[in-house]
Amino acid sequence: MQLDELGSCKVVALEQPILPSRSRLYSLAPIGIGTPEVESLTGYISRLAKAHCVTVGTLLSKEFDGKLAYKDMFLGSSNGIAPIAASCVRAVESLTHRNDLRNLTMLSWANTLSSKGLLRSYRAWCPICLREHPTVYEPLLWCIGAVEACPQHGRPLTSRCPHCSETLPVLGSNMWPGQCSKCRCYLDDDSVISASNKAASFHQLWTAIAVGEMLAASQDEPLPSGRFMEALRFWTQDATFAGTGRLLEEPDATVRRWLIGRSLPKLGTLVKICHKLETSPLPFLTLAPPASHCKRIGPPCAQAKRPNWRRKIDLTEIRVELEATLRNGADRPPSTAEVSRRMGYSKWTLYKYFPELCRAISRRYMDWRIECGVRREQALIEEVRRIAASLYEVGTEPNNREVCSRMTKPGSFRNPIVAAALTRIRLELGPAGRKSSFLRRGQLAAEGSPR
């Protein structure tokens, strides 16, 4: 080889290249991040199990055992804001080497929403979406308890399998995307799609679109603590507890806990509040007007108007109504609170101007309540007496277990008056009943019959 040919050869590096670390499971890309149709974490786990050709139960028991209490994931808590959700996200991210799975849960709203009633305890879906989407998956929107309709097709969500008519867990051990985890049939059956022609109501569609906005705006970091309290003061113009309660039609005690940061609202309550203020949850919490694509939800409202709650009190009308209530001989007398709601005044207004009439109405209502309780207890005592007598006739000892199992409402036996009545009845029936019971047992023993 000539020297000029050696000079034209390429230099090859002999150092070993650095290879990135390999993930334990396939690093599947989540579907719909940044959109209202973002995938749920439980749906992602089911797709992950399908990619590895194993069941969800096998995947959780083999790969997640020791990393978290994987049995809690079957309840769907991994989609919410509870601590189990953060544990599930960390476990799945460590196995797939992804860092964007937090957006598949509601963890971005952990500081602004209560976990009560946030998620469904069962599986819900739209069969048309399962049929039309090229990749079968389950959006996080279907897991939210306040969402009852599909915003794309304007129809209520389905919660029962069309083949076995069973409700399905959010994450079943035999779950497969788009299939029933109990009978393994497809959930997008043609008969179900053609038979369900019921359209969703306007409120259901409004709620689904509003919650979808929140899911599309989910971030890696949650909103700061106290954001709901700050937003509530901003949109109500720093109204008092009573004024805010009247504006939102919520109890003053509940509004007080919100405004001092002691509690957080449920998602359904937040949607209701935003509907009252003519906005949607996302602009409400971000202190901004609604986005352009949300104008169909409702007109934006920069500030909520305070209605004038002053009302002229007609004392003559109140007196006539209270006296008519006292004269009315109805079987069920109304309480003072019921009368006040019917008249449109507060209970304290009635007590302020007509305390004697209000006390008379309240006294009659309480007497009726006491009388109903006495009649109910007497009926239970008579039922216990009848059951105990029938047991004595057949030679069975009328103990607590035997009597309780034969009562119409077994839970009523927890009443101490009912238990004391049984003791008294046994003493009344006493010697004769026990003697007949012992005689019957002796006869059975003499005949050689088993006890």
More confident residue, 110 or 247: 110
**For residue range 268-295, what is the model confidence (pLDDT) as tens digits?**
899 988 888 888 888 888 876 544 433 3
Report whether pLDDT(215) > 80: yes
**For residue range 360-375, what is the model confidence (pLDDT) as tens digits?**
999 999 999 999 888 8
Q: Which range is least confidently modeled, 50-64, 233-247, 373-387? A: 233-247
Tokens of 72: 């809690």
Q: By the 8 A CB rule, do 68 and 89 touch?
A: no
Angstrom distance (rounded) from CA 57 to CA 90:
19
Query: In this predicted structure, what is the pLDDT of residue 6?
Result: 53
Q: How far from the centroid of its chain's Cα atoms is residue 278's Cα?
A: 25
pLDDT band per the 50, 70, 90 thresholds, residue 396: confident
What average pLDDT does range 223-238 have in this prediction? 82
Query: In this predicted structure, what is the pLDDT of residue 309?
Result: 42
Domains of the chain, residue spans: 41-195, 224-294, 315-433
Report whether pLDDT(183) > 70: yes
Query: In this predicted structure, what is the pLDDT of residue 289?
Result: 52
Report whether pLDDT(131) > 50: yes
Instruction: Return the axis-axis angle of helices 83-96 and 41-51, rounded to nearest 10°.
Output: 30
Q: Choose which CATH entry (1.10.260.40, 3.90.1150.10, 3.40.630.40, 1.10.760.10) describes domain 224-294.
A: 1.10.260.40
What average pLDDT does range 179-189 have in this prediction? 83
What average pLDDT does range 77-106 have in this prediction? 87
Three-class SS of residue 257? helix
Q: Which range is least confidently modeled, 49-53, 231-235, 265-269? A: 231-235
Residues 250, 255, 256: CA angle, nearest 5 degrees = 145
Query: In this predicted structure, what is the pLDDT of residue 47?
Result: 92
What average pLDDT does range 80-104 have in this prediction? 87
Query: In this predicted structure, what is the pLDDT of residue 311?
Result: 55
Rounded to the nearest 10°, the torsion over CA 329, 330, 332, 335 is -70
Q: Which range is least confidently modeled, 32-36, 128-132, 239-243, 267-271? A: 239-243
Percent of the chain with pLDDT over 70: 81
Three-class SS of residue 21? coil
Query: In this predicted structure, what is the pLDDT of residue 196?
Result: 57
pLDDT band per the 50, 70, 90 thresholds, residue 139: very high
What average pLDDT does range 380-390 have in this prediction? 87
- Identity of the residue numbered 151: P
Report whether pLDDT(193) > 70: no
Angstrom distance (rounded) from CA 399 to CA 167:
40
pLDDT band per the 50, 70, 90 thresholds, residue 440: very low
Q: By the 8 A CB rule, do 262 and 232 touch?
A: no
Average pLDDT, the chain: 80
Percent of the chain with pLDDT over 90: 10
**For residue range 337-360, what is the model confidence (pLDDT) as tens digits?**
888 888 888 888 888 899 999 999
What average pLDDT does range 419-445 have in this prediction? 62
What average pLDDT does range 303-309 have in this prediction? 40
Angstrom distance (rounded) from CA 48 to CA 55:
10
Tokens 């194993």 locate to 54
pLDDT band per the 50, 70, 90 thresholds, residue 87: confident
Q: Which range is least confidently modeled, 8-12, 73-77, 200-204, 242-246? A: 73-77
User: Could you tell me the CA-to-CA distances from 321 to 121, 336, 343, 349 in Å, in that order?
Assistant: 47, 12, 8, 14
